[in-house]
Structure 1
Amino acid sequence: MPTHEATQPPDTAAAPAGLPSDPTPIHESADPALAAERRHLAESRSALRQMRERTESLEAQGGNAVSTEYLKATLYHRAKALADDPNTPLFFGRLDYGVDARPVDEEPTAGLAERFYIGRRHVSDEDGDPMVVDWRASVSRPFYRATRRDPLGVELRRRFGFAHGSLTAYEDEHLTDPPATDVADGVGTALGSRILEAEIERPRVGPMRDIVATIQPEQDDIVRADLSGTVCVQGAPGTGKTAVGLHRAAFLLYAHRDQLRRQGVLVVGPNDSFLRYIGDVLPALGEIDARQSTLAELVGRTKIRGTDPPHIATLKGDARMAEILRRAVWSHVKEPSEGLVVPRGARRFRVPAYEVSEILAGIRARGVRYGAGRAILPQRLAHAILLRMEADGDSPDDRVQASVARSRPVKAYADELWPAVDPAKLVFRLLSEPEFLAEHADGQLDVAEQVLLRWPTPPRSAGSARWSLADAVLVDEAADLIERTPSLGHVVLDEAQDLSPMQLRAVGRRCSTGSATVLGDLAQATTPWATRDWTDALTHLGKSGAHVEELTKGFRVPASVIEFAARLLPHIAPTLAPPSSVRRTSGDLVINQAAKVLPAALDGVRTALDRPGSVGLVVPDARIRAVRSALDAAGISYAVLGDTDDVDAHLDVVPASLVKGLEFDHVVVLEPAAIVAAEHDEVTGLRRLYVCLTRAVTSLQIVHAEPLPAPLSG
């Protein structure tokens, strides 16, 4: 599979880093193939611009003002989806079907059945013929799936190399060649393509990129899984699970656009820094309809201003709290002590207490939410009154029943038996009133657990309480018991291993009638309440029948780095298969023990800054201030993750607690032992360290004065 490169004019970017140096550079004039592909790229960009201009020129003329505004919004979103970033390749591959597709001048030959350019979105010419086919279309799937053993009808697969939007190289794979020559022409990479490997290793600056050009078959299976099913991805570091989840959302929006535009798609991430990091992926794929949120934003019915100690947060996140809340909500329904009497003119109609009890029991037996039952009760009471009116010779209709249901005696009686419940005030009572908690926690929590759960010094009211995230999740559960939470069509949940059972229930409510893509790694579980088993987690999410897929082939983390970090696995996740790197380059791993760690870390940072790509300095949270002072004194420019929205800084100082899900070309990890010691137990600390060590794409430097944790020191 030879790689063809082109010598660029002085004002254009060079070929992507990582492309082989052995092929002789070919000038554009000497390579008609490259010239033809560049013409197609220019024509495709022109066609995309015309598609956008046609959309922007359309006038929205609905039948009325409302429909006109709706059409305007639709056209605006369509034009926004057709935006073209000149620095992003419009297509990255080509498929040729039919006769042997090896023309000398790259012009279509007589007998060539079909040719498709595969890209990030569909582009058509003025006649409607495709110039670029969306990567999500079924015709594009052979680009990711075809092999010489099973070519799927493809004669030739071509990959393109780009730099800053300019086409710089191409690489051909003739799928009609015998299977024995799968790795041909001395390419010899684990991925089978130097362009593919160069794209994976391309320096990272700014937010996360899409991976449409590098999707592997096992990832493609997950991306294209049917909307009706929930998929759980257990993915080792560097396997691309986050990217797979985002591309699955993009694929589902493409394949089920009308349905999901109505029902909605939600991406849930662990924190704001993570969401900013992944925020450009879906828009780059032309998808702007998916919403992104943290769990705190999702359950933000109360303002979160406080935090809980780990053992109390763990207790509040326990699944037993769901039953306690259910009991507390429904305890407000009272049995009648006397019947209902409703005057109508000169007559009085009475419903005895025993019949009202039967009505209450019938409503509860229907399994409705508390609020729905409260709305039903006046209608059922009014119906009982109407039966008595009919027995008395009247002929009341539905309007009379509605009038009776709204009457003061019926409303007052129903409110007494089935009062309104405020979810925040309910949780406030549970956390501040010992008797109320004891009544509903009987058989669920022992006395010691009840004492832990209660606020030591209860606030004056629910409005003045310093609610924690765990409290907000309880309020969200109570609110769902009262009024059903609307379900979305699909939810992508990342870093799911760090969620408690109650937090999983909160996310599951948002896709109760839809499906989910659950992403995580049990080895990276760093919260005290973290998931230990995907079966249990999926049950709490309400998706017990989900399919679990394990990804172990790493495309991002270099071999030397992942092998070093994997020394921790027997101690933090002994049941998981160890990850492996499929990259040709092993990466750089430097372990530097120094008496003074800050000067040594700054030297490591300077070395990393001299190389292309992003740099992350991962620091124990407690040492952020000292690191900032040292960087300021050294005159090194930086951004601190969590303190700024800047995702384009060359150097990011990253608290160890926020590094999960991020990646950098070069990583410097400061004092691993301190990262471990900061957690509530050693296993969790080693998991946090595992996360920190596996963020590097090219190089990892470890700077320490304290001894390394025992699993790493062997």
Structure 2
Amino acid sequence: MMDAINKRVSYDIGCMKSLRKLPDKVALRFMDMMTRYMSDPSSNGLNLETVEGAKDSSIKSLRVDQGYRAIAFEVARDIMFVHVNEHDKAYRWAGNRRVKLDPDTNRIRVVEELDVTVVETEPQGAEEPRLFSTVTDKRLKALGVPAEEMPAVRALTSIEGLETAEEGFDPLTYQILYALAAGYSDEEVYALTGVPEETETAPETPLTDLTFDQMIETAESRQTIFIPEDEKELRRVFEEGLEGWRVFLHPDQRKIAYRDYNGPAMVRGGAGTGKTVVAMHRAKHLADQIEQDLTQTGQRVLLTTFTTSLAQDIEANLRTLCPEHLAARPPRIEVINLDRWVSQFLKRKSFAREVAFFGEARDRLDQIWREVFDDHELPEGLSEPFIRAEWAQIVQAKGLMDQRAYLKVSRAGRGTPLDRRKRAALWGIFADYRARVVSEGLAEPDDAYREAIEILSSEAPNLPYAGVIVDEAQDMGEQAFRLIRAIVPEGPLGDRNSLFIVGDAHQRIYGRRASMAGCGINVRGRSKRVRLNYRTTQEIRSWAVSVLEGVSVDDLDEGSDTLKGYVSLLHGVSPELVSSTSEVEELKGVSTWIRSLPSENVRLSDIGILCARRADVDRVSAALQGDGIETVVLQAGADDRSVPGVRITTMHRAKGLEFFAVAIPFLSESAFPPPGALKSAVDAADREDILTQYRSLLHVAATRAKKALRVSWSGTPTKLINDHAPNLG
């Protein structure tokens, strides 16, 4: 066998899937062997043997233990493991398999060559129709099904049979067939699989000229083949889950994350499309460049988001994806929510005022407002809540510092019109409030952002950031993005790889909004979209999207957005929509539902109960514990899934999380949206904005579910779902 240095070991997704079906001790034995194999494939007990009678001479076997064998393909310096099973089953699996370099799909595939006489996998009725009888061979081939697998495809009679035969097909073939069986159009199948359409421009280098070692490195092959860089990465992947986003990216995702941009770039897409995953891989890519470029020593990537909890979740995942970059000194990736970044920056600059992000300082701002209102006569027809909303949404959001600017500013979307006289009167109130806040030594978050922008602009400090990545951009406002632009201003040599912005306005749950162009960030021509939902089933996705029916959504710049083409490959059961006579009955139903989930496949920690209000979280936790079900109430901090217990948290806190099964209780008309939220509306336009936010919040909560979703209420359901409940009940 060649020296270990000249060997490259990789793992096909089929190997990963077969491992999950093995006894734990066998899987652990294989994992241990693979770490040794990477360091020295010629060591004792790691010899590859020829599989007698195999159609492909490059297919080999490796003894895992007395009863199990691993199957691999050895081509020149490459060894690709593809399957692990019991001895006889592994050899039967290997007999007709061969490696196919497929230029049509730009990837390496592991296909099975069968004769028509041996592919009858289901009992055949006299006139039982075939599953793909209306789909021609030409169409199947154009979509990416190889000729070798056509006989097996033609033997299928039902989607259940297809699911049973999954292991027999190349992973890409299975994706294509499942999508076709689900009724997807050819265009949707191309989007799902990443197979180039026939009409697309051919690559400059003919793919037929690529050798195995070149083809395995294509973005398409890397969708289903994992090539670890070292033993640490291999062990980490084995321990963290072999078939996850950390290893396999869709070709479109990989192209977005691992390329250079000559200016700020934006990625949009619906919930579950892997935008945060792309952001994390983008951070890894930029950090890799920093590590390799001696001129960037000491530089880092700033990955920021809106909430503390999401930043902590992202950091925890990055410690799995690329721990070397976080462990470096200084770290090559810094993960922090923007409020905290501003607070730390201003503290280093000896900013004299306390930023009222929360707590007592925030309460003091409320008191100042009360004092101001006591000393001023309000303009006719305007309420205190309206004035405070005008301050937050217009004056502070747009950074208005004088009356002249306020008299001229557009108030589009604010509903209640204001003439020049009323604006002038309001400015007197705003000026008094601002003066009192300053005299108290306080600052609102937008004040802090502006102060940081001024410091950055005047001092031109040499911040150590090679680039900034923004996740959940839809929840940040204008001042936040003006600050982000100030952190990495456009330099004399351009704006290469400076900003990478990820978001989806359909998931805007905090009411803030900003135009990238209006904040000095030009993403035109560098705006990308991801459409494939990797998390949820098509049934859950469809219901979650129905909640947003009729809602107009922006594209985070100066246009509109849509979820057209947003699809899921996975299918499952429809969401359960359950009506109860009382909340006590509703909570009992949640307990029964939890116990009905298959315990052999679903841990309690993979079940989430998401509530609109914090008080409801405590009620659910008490009820489940009373029924003998362990619970964990999620607050700040990352979720450690090794701790047993059903996860209970608010819909807001659940942003960025995912669960096998999700229950959303208390969606009655009287409880959702919470009455207090609607009472705070200052006019019809504001009320509509609040309803839209809660539609988005419910959409976000529903899309946390991967396979099972339960929605419940007592009495009359909220109008946000009432129109859709009869269709799915």
TM-score (norm: length of structure 2) = 0.56
> What secondary structure, in the 3-state scheme, does the structure 2 residue paired with 1:518 have?
strand
Is it true that 1:699 corresponds to 2:708 in the alignment? yes
Q: Report if aligned partners of 1:236, 1:521 keep a CA contact under 8 Å in 2.
A: yes
1:43 corresponds, among 37, 40, 58, to: 37
> Quick one: distance in 2 between partners of 1:278 and 1:264?
16
Q: Structure 1's 564 and 540: CA in aligned 2 closer, same or farther, altered over 3 A?
A: same
Match of 1:478 among 413, 436, 454: 454
The residue number in structure 1 matching 2:631 is: 638
Matches within 5 A, 1:267-282: 267-282=303-318
Alignment partners' CA distance in 1, 2:110 and 2:662: 39
Q: In structure 1, what is the equivalent of residue 611 of structure 2? A: 619
2:67 is aligned with 1:112: no
C-alpha contact (below 8 Å) 1:601/1:668 kept by paired residues: no
Other-structure match for 1:290: 333
Q: Hey, what's the Cα distance between the residues in 1 that align with 2:700 and 2:242?
A: 17
- What corresponds to 2:655 in structure 1? 660
Partner Cα separation in structure 1 for residue 540 and residue 111 of structure 2: 32
2:277 maps to a residue whose letter is A
**Match for 2:521 among 523, 528, 542?**
542
Deviation at 1:618, TM superposition (A): 0.8
Shift in CA distance, 118/237, structure 1 to aligned 2, threshold 3 Å:
farther
Is the contact between residue 279 and residue 502 of structure 2 (CA under 8 Å) also seen in structure 1? yes
Q: 1:274-310: per-residue Cα shift (whole Å, max 9, x none)? A: 1222222222233312001111112213433327855
Report deviation, 1:603.
Answer: 3.4
Taking the TM superposition and a 5 Å limit, the aligned residue runs for 1:161-560 are 179-180=146-147, 186-187=165-166, 189-190=174-175, 211-257=245-291, 258=293, 261-286=297-322, 287-288=325-326, 289-300=332-343, 301=346, 302-304=354-356, 305-306=361-362, 310-321=389-400, 324=401, 437-438=402-403, 443-444=408-409, 446-448=423-425, 450-451=427-428, 453-454=430-431, 456=433, 459=436, 462=439, 464-465=441-442, 467-484=443-460, 486-487=462-463, 488-513=465-490, 515-531=498-514, 536-540=515-519, 542-545=521-524, 547-560=526-539
Q: Kindly provide the amino acid, as one letter, of the partner of residue 725 in structure 2.
A: S
CA-based RMSD of the aligned residues comes to 4.5
CA distance in 2, matches of 1:629, 1:485: 52
Question: 1:24 maps to what in 2?
Answer: none
CA-to-partner distance for each residue in 1:20-70, whole Å, 9 max, x for gaps? xxxxxxxx9xxxxxx7x97444322789xxxxxxxxxxxxxxxxxxxxxxx
Q: Quote the offset at 1:237 in angstroms.
A: 1.0
Q: How far off its partner does 1:215 sit?
A: 0.7
Assess if the C-alpha contact under 8 Å between 1:232 and 1:548 holds in 2.
yes
Deviating more after overlay: 572-581 vs 110-119:
110-119
SS in 2 for 1:654: strand
Contact 1:316–1:471 (CA under 8 A) maintained in structure 2 = no
Instruction: Tell whether the 8 Å contact from 2:257 to 2:285 is kept in structure 1 after alignment.
Output: yes
1:565-597: CA deviation from partner (whole Å, max 9, x where unpaired): 111333224640345444343245211111223
Aligned 1:56-75 pairs, distance under 5 A:
none
State the alpha-carbon separation in 2 of the partners of residues 3 and 243 from structure 1.
22
Give the % identical residues: 17
Judged with a 3 Å threshold, the aligned counterparts in structure 2 of structure 1 residues 178 and 522 are, in CA distance, closer, same or farther, namely closer
| Residue 529 to residue 206, structure 1, CA distance change in 2 (3 Å) | farther
Q: Which runs of 5+ in 1 are unaligned?
A: 16-27, 29-34, 48-99, 120-142, 159-173, 200-204, 325-436
Per-residue deviation, 1:554: 0.7
The alignment partner of 2:311 has SS state of: helix
2:573 matches 1:593: no
What letter matches 1:676 in structure 2? Answer: P
For the residues of structure 2 that align with 1:193 and 1:46, how far apart are their CA atoms?
Answer: 40
CA 1:636–1:707: 2 relative to 1, 3 Å: same
Distance 2:391 2:148 in 1: 60
Maintained 8 Å contact 2:58/2:73: no
Change (3 A) 1:697 1:483: same
SS of 1:569's partner is coil
Which residue of structure 1 aligns with residue 590 of structure 2?
604
Q: Distance in 2 between matches of 1:208 and 1:493?
A: 27
CA distance in structure 1 between the partners assigned to 2:72 and 2:581 by the alignment: 69
> What is the count of residue pairs matched by the alignment?
478
- C-alpha distance 207-640 of structure 1, shift in aligned 2 (>3 A): farther
Kept in 1, the 8 Å contact 2:536–2:570? The answer is no
Render the CA deviation track for 1:193-235: whole Å, top value 9, x for unaligned: 9999999xxxxx9999961332111111111120543221111
Are 2:661 and 2:709, in contact at CA under 8 Å, matched by a contact in 1? Answer: yes
One of 534, 537, 551 as aligned partner of 1:572: 551
Partner of 1:262: helix, strand, or coil? coil
Aligned residue for 2:25, secondary structure, equals coil
* Deviations 1:332-357, CA, capped at 9 Å, x for gaps: xxxxxxxxxxxxxxxxxxxxxxxxxx
Instruction: Return the offset for 1:490.
Output: 1.3
Q: 672, 676, 679: which is aligned to 2:673?
A: 676
